[in-house]
Amino acid sequence: MLQAAHRWLFLLVAHNVFLRTGGYRVSGVERASLSLLSAIDTEGPIEAVLFIRRTGAVLASWTRQGLTQDVMTVMAATMLASIDTMMTTLGGPGPRSVYVETDDRQILSTAVTSQAFLILIAPRAVGREYVRDAAARLLALLPPQLLTKGPKPSPVAAQQ
């Protein structure tokens, strides 16, 4: 059942990429989105995986409950931009990773490139290490040339 769900998810994402690109070219980031979605453990405790651009545009996303992802991705991008602005205002680089806890959830965001982020949302009871390990497993599927190295370059700092 899990294998069939992964195949269906992979085909759905591939079809969306095909439609968005006119069926011709697929960028490295879009190829990466196919790899990420096909590797999500849909039976595990992770509630949402978002692969988004800095603007909030969805590269790939999955939620356990089939929620509308537009609000989640735009708010995630807004949160990350706010944190980035706070850090660069203090004179530091934008963060490569952001971890947020609420009363019952946790959110981990990792910069994949200067313009793309991987975000995982899980129940707080799962534990921080599980979420970090899940993110690391997904990031390991990405081609090394796609990944950001060192501190994330900040568009705010670049404008100053």
Residue 23: what pLDDT? 44
Residue 68: what pLDDT? 74
Q: Which residues of the chain have pLDDT under 70?
A: 1-32, 145-160
CB 107 within 8 A of CB 119: yes
Residue 143: what pLDDT? 72
Residue 65: what pLDDT? 80
Residue 19: what pLDDT? 46
CB 13 within 8 A of CB 33: yes
| Bridge partners for 50 per DSSP | 61, 119
- 60: helix, strand or coil: strand
User: What's the CA gap between 33 and 100, in Å, rounded?
Assistant: 23
Residue 140: what pLDDT? 87
Q: Does domain 2-144 have CATH number 3.40.50.720?
A: no
Residue 159: what pLDDT? 42
Residue 40: what pLDDT? 87
